[in-house]
Amino acid sequence: MISLLVLWSPIAIPLYTLAGEHNWVNIVTLIALYTEFIILVRYWGKQIYHQPQLLQQYGLEWSQRNVRELFQGMGLGVCSLFVLFGIQASFGWLVWNTTQIIQSVQTTPQFILEGLAIALGIGFAEELLFRGWLLDELRRDYSLPKTVWLSSLIFAILHFIKPLEEVYRTILQFPGLVLLGLALAWGKLSTPSSNTPNGRLGLPIGFHGGLVWAYYLINVGQWMTVSGQVPQWVTGIDNNPLAGIMGLLFLTAIALGMRQRATVVRQST
């Protein structure tokens, strides 16, 4: 990882210095970072592990099954978040902004496509790193259950680095991140094959991307407003469903479902 940062810095530092933190700069530097990551992983696989197809072992398999699981995961991610918000709206805790939704769909359809592109990019990048590289590295030293939990804790910690006062204020987000990591890891493990014994990345990329896409549409598009009838820790602090009791309940159900699916599939193979 140090080598990756050393190679990435000559690209990222000049861009951020000259252009500042614009969206296009973030996108370019992210693409550069993960391009270098893939190149280094392929080199690492050949030279250290003597595995020229290490990316495939991570679950980056180019097959119809992986593509199909990508769409299945995306459908699950989008639907689960809209169902979560829909249930809360039925209780009167949230209010759909119908006018804003219609305006977004009719006048700014590129907003929806931009959200999809961003979501897929984030899903691919983070799943390749956490459920691909990290899961594989930990699996070489630990049992499968420990690997799943360790990778999920690391995922949560790295996403929860913030000032101490923000840690206290948004503490509910941490178990939400752990549950999300568990759901994604068990989802991957539920799709094993002879070439990818720890599962393919299509399902977790799709599920992760689907959640990000749905949240992007609802939050950035201002499709929904908090009514204020219940505290924020119920619906989600700062409108983040990962930082609310309702979101935690949903994620718990999804994670347990993924775990059960992984158990059944792996017992039958």
pLDDT at 4: 45
Q: Parse the chain into domains and list their residue ranges.
A: 1-52, 63-268
Three-state SS for 224? strand
Three-state SS for 226? strand
Rounded-to-integer distance, Cα 24 and Cα 8, Å: 16
Q: Identify which has the larger pLDDT, 87 or 269.
A: 87
Least confident among 22-36, 41-55, 116-130: 22-36
pLDDT at 130: 92
Least confident among 32-41, 85-94, 173-182: 32-41
Model pTM? 0.87
pLDDT bracket for residue 81 (50, 70, 90): very high
What's the gap between Cα 36 and its chain centre? 20
To the nearest whole percent, how much of the chain has pLDDT over 90? 49
pLDDT at 175: 96
- Note the helical H segments in the chain: 2-19, 23-47, 54-58, 64-90, 98-107, 109-127, 135-139, 144-158, 164-169, 173-189, 202-215, 232-235, 245-268
pLDDT tens digits along 85-95: 999 999 999 99
Mean pLDDT, residues 2-22: 51
Q: b or e along 107-116 (b: 16 or more beta carbons within 10 Å of the residue's beta carbon)?
A: eeeeeeeebb
For residue 224, list its beta bridge partners. 96
Mean pLDDT, residues 92-104: 88
